[in-house]
Amino acid sequence: MPIVILGPTASGKSAVAVAVARRIGGVVVNGDPYQAIRGLAIGTGQPDEAEQDGVPHVGYGILPLSARPNPKDFGVQVRGWLVKEREAVLVTGSGLYLRGIWDQLSELPAVDTPLVDRVRRWGLELGTPALHRYLAAVDRSRAARLHPNDSARVQRALALHLATGRPPSELLSGPKTAIPSGWRVLVVTPGREQRRERVVMRVAAQVRVGWREEVAQLVASGHTEDLVALRPLGYATWMAGGDPRAIQETVVQETQAYAKRQATWFRNQLPEASIWDPDTEALAAAFAHLGLA
């Protein structure tokens, strides 16, 4: 019976996944597309040797920077990893990619790469809020469900509209989804203030161990276009340069906004999932939620 540990960035879900995997004698399987890419270890929070703590980990840092993961194909890849492991603990913070892993995505029309790149350039030149206003003009329903600064989903919706001439909400609606039969799900959910504090501490730790230098090395090695295309959280801000303290504060704000969206998604999309607060409950309670007590 597979287990999945979910939660926003900096919630501590990776550590919980390690504890659960050790409890059942299993392995941790990565469900985050950015943590699957080599070269982004610090900024994406790929667990290092100390954090893995002797527990086998699968799917981290194995794809080249030239990879362009999408929810459907990455979902197929992760399901392959899960099938190979007898006792697997999946961990991810991405609701969209979780749907891909659970094979719950609608079949969408193909969108040509040049069109995707064109919409991305518009976002860089005009800003995501401007694209969000355009989306609202062609599909008020879809725009209402997206934050004006959610660049990835706004651009994806606009590209679908331009490719098909149809409102993206028609293409993305799909059937109602629920936790697949047999899965045990735990959402690691700190309180709002604790979540914000955790993000501050996480970004500070990433900076201490060399996030800025990681980005500089990638740029020096000719991977600027890869980073622009992949859009991993925080990297573009470091690439833009400026005062390191100001950059770090901006990255904190970006990460806090992202973590808030993640927490909202899990709360709204998986209301039946078990919730565990790492700041107020003992780890034993997490095991109990998963039927491991």
Amino acid, res. 147: H
Give the pLDDT of residue 174: 58
Can you tell me the distance from the alpha carbon of 255 to that of 202, in angstroms, rounded to the nearest whole number?
Answer: 10
Q: What is the pTM of this model?
A: 0.81
**Mean pLDDT across 35-49:** 97
Over residues 179-195, the pLDDT tens digits come to 999 999 999 999 999 99
Task: Please report the DSSP string for 88-148 in residue order.
Answer: EEEEES-HHHHHHHTT-PPP-----HHHHHHHHHHHHHH-HHHHHHHHHHH-HHHHHTS-T
Reported as a pLDDT band with limits 50, 70 and 90, residue 99 is very high
Q: How many CB atoms lie within 10 A of CB 172?
A: 18
Residue count of the chain, please give it. 293
Q: With contact defined as beta carbons under 8 Å apart, do 93 and 264 qualify?
A: no
What domains sit in the chain, N to C, each tagged with a CATH number?
3-105+183-289 (3.40.50.300), 113-172 (1.10.20.140)
Give residues with Cβ within 8 angstroms of 291, minimum separation 6.
184
Which residue's entry shows tokens 């667990």?
Answer: 47
- pLDDT (tens digit, 9 = 90+) per residue, 239-284? 999 999 999 999 999 999 999 999 999 999 999 999 999 999 999 9
Read off the pLDDT of residues 20-37 as tens digits, 9 standing for 90 and up: 999 999 999 999 999 999
Contact 38, 63 (CB under 8 A): yes
Query: Hey, CA dihedral for 137, 139, 145, 150, is it positive or negative?
Result: negative
pLDDT tier at 169 (50, 70, 90 boundaries)? Answer: confident
Examine the pLDDT at 173 and tell me if it is beyond 70: no
CA atoms within 13 A on the CB side of 142: 27
133 exposure class (CB count in 10 Å sphere: 0-12, 13-18, 19+): middle
Helix, strand, coil share of the chain (percent; to 5): 55, 10, 35
- pLDDT at residue 177 is higher than 80: no
- CA separation for the pair 216, 239 (Å, rounded): 7
CA 195 from chain center: how many Å? 16
- Residue 273's Cα: distance from chain center in Å? 18
Instruction: Please give the pLDDT value at position 171.
Output: 76
Q: What confidence score (pLDDT) does residue 287 get?
A: 97
pLDDT tens sequence across 101-154? 999 987 777 788 888 889 999 988 999 999 999 999 999 999 998 999 888 889
pLDDT tens track for 47-80: 999 999 999 999 999 999 999 999 999 999 999 9
